[in-house]
Structure 1
């Protein structure tokens, strides 16, 4: 590899890490999100706040960069790459927990964005969202033979109890909540003239409208999940978050989910993934001069 190509690869790895962190920062700052941490407050959370979430997001930059570099070195989806990014993800999680004093702020986002960053780094000339999600799914389906024995998580218990696929299944299926719901709604709302805040809120609601969110299931059971899905659909069917009736439904959904202590954290992670993939296509075109 010549010096120019090496510099270009380094720039792309850095940019992927930048964009992953920016997606997390944009997600947490987006307001008003139902029952989630945002600029108004902590939503349904007692141990989270905006500053903590921002510090957590920044702490993940070295991990995302390392994943991108590992993908560039490997050049394709392999079991070895899966195990490498698994270890890098655990290291990123350990750093996150150090920064947050043990509070789980972004464990699900490390999984989702880590896979997408890795998939994007493998083939920057194939950066269309569906193609990146397809490669990420191929990675997610590979076993991580280096995964240490761990106690059962809240998400795993919810998956076993309710028979839902959870974050792992979402990734293994190619992030359908992002590719089929979040991204199309984000772009449709923009085309309809919504400002970026409302377009992003609509994308979140489109994800919430169908997602079997294990965070909500853990906190509020099936009734809470159905409330989330129905409330999100009501906002969108009323014209979205930019309309008067949509804003009224959004406030009602926020109040209901807070009362249920049901924070849609899984949907928030997938909104960050949506924002990452949306920005990725334009970034790749600018950096590489290719039409994705």
Structure 2
């Protein structure tokens, strides 16, 4: 009989990887890699993104395993960070040095940890709270290297991925998850519901990937256009927006990471409310 801790860790890792795959396969996305084109990216392909996602399964499984039944602490924060850095190295080995999922490792890794702390029984509100509390602990072993996101955050005075996590992922809780659920409630197909969730994120998030590539003007343009397409409900306009983002070298990579994290939380929420895997885990407690 399999151990409940191992069973949930595998389930959480599978859900995390599946969420990354869902995000990259979602089509059509503005400025991002999808099943039709590579958006504003010269160094990324869908095949590379899929290989990268699959390479991270062990990373997420290890994070879930060490977090299972624990509480936020300095030692746990540093253990998660070490596992995450190993995952980044594995990602770079898989992609030949291309950064495909560094932001997603950070965000989803913390959420995997929060979900595992509750042994798969916590609701989203509790998971993001625990993830935020964990993120606020310092990592004394973190290399003293400023990332593009950190530099952009400091230059323009906006919240980056770190602040988003430390605050308990407010854009997921207040923007992308409500939009995902509302779109489904309106009877939209899952692909459209996820696209609406992504557009809502682009329209509201100070995406440091956009700022890094195009500065404040690009961010203002991206937010305005995403809000316009969202209100129109037209996938044809979304295709036109992809052409515009590609032409202007706009890539909402931070929003894409938040969408993948949203999809992960959605899967974990489904697990809580009666998923078969939950029953399996409960049966071996």
Residue of structure 2 in register with 1:206 after alignment: 200
Measured in 2, the distance between the counterparts of 1:263 and 1:224 equals 10
Measured in 2, the distance between the counterparts of 1:254 and 1:276 equals 25
Q: Which of 5, 12, 23 is matched with 1:9 structurally?
A: 5
Gaps of 5+ in 1: 241-245
State the TM-score, normalized to the length of structure 1.
Answer: 0.92
Q: Which of 112, 116, 128 is matched with 1:121 structurally?
A: 116
Displacement of 1:247: 2.2
Contact 1:43 1:258 in 2 (8 A): yes
SS across alignment from 1:116: helix
Encode CA deviations 1:224-267: one digit per residue, 9 max, x unaligned. 111111111111212x3xxxxx2243123212211110100000
Measured in 2, the distance between the counterparts of 1:108 and 1:125 equals 23
Q: Which of 126, 130, 152 is matched with 1:135 structurally?
A: 130
Contact 2:13 2:57 in 1 (8 A): yes
Contact 2:31 2:39 in 1 (8 A): yes
SS across alignment from 2:199: helix
SS across alignment from 2:109: helix
Q: Which of 242, 247, 251 is matched with 2:235 structurally?
A: 247
Displacement of 1:126: 4.1
SS across alignment from 1:209: helix
SS across alignment from 1:42: coil
Residue of structure 1 in register with 2:27 after alignment: 31
Residue of structure 2 in register with 1:219 after alignment: 213
Q: Which of 72, 75, 94 is matched with 2:70 structurally?
A: 75
Q: Which of 143, 150, 175 is matched with 1:181 structurally?
A: 175
Q: Which runs of 4+ in 1 moved over 3 A?
A: 287-290
Q: Which of 261, 264, 268 is matched with 1:280 structurally?
A: 268
Gaps of 5+ in 2: none
Displacement of 1:149: 2.3
**Greater relative CO, 1 or 2 (CA 8 Å, sep 6+):** 2
Contact 1:20 1:113 in 2 (8 A): yes
Contact 2:10 2:61 in 1 (8 A): yes
State the TM-score, normalized to the length of structure 2.
Answer: 0.94
Measured in 2, the distance between the counterparts of 1:148 and 1:94 equals 13
Encode CA deviations 1:30-55: one digit per residue, 9 max, x unaligned. 00000100000110000000000000
Residue of structure 2 in register with 1:243 after alignment: none
Contact 1:183 1:203 in 2 (8 A): yes
Contact 2:120 2:268 in 1 (8 A): no
RMSD, matched Cα:
1.4
Q: How many pairs align?
A: 278
Measured in 2, the distance between the counterparts of 1:218 and 1:37 equals 18
- 2:103 counterpart of 1:103: no
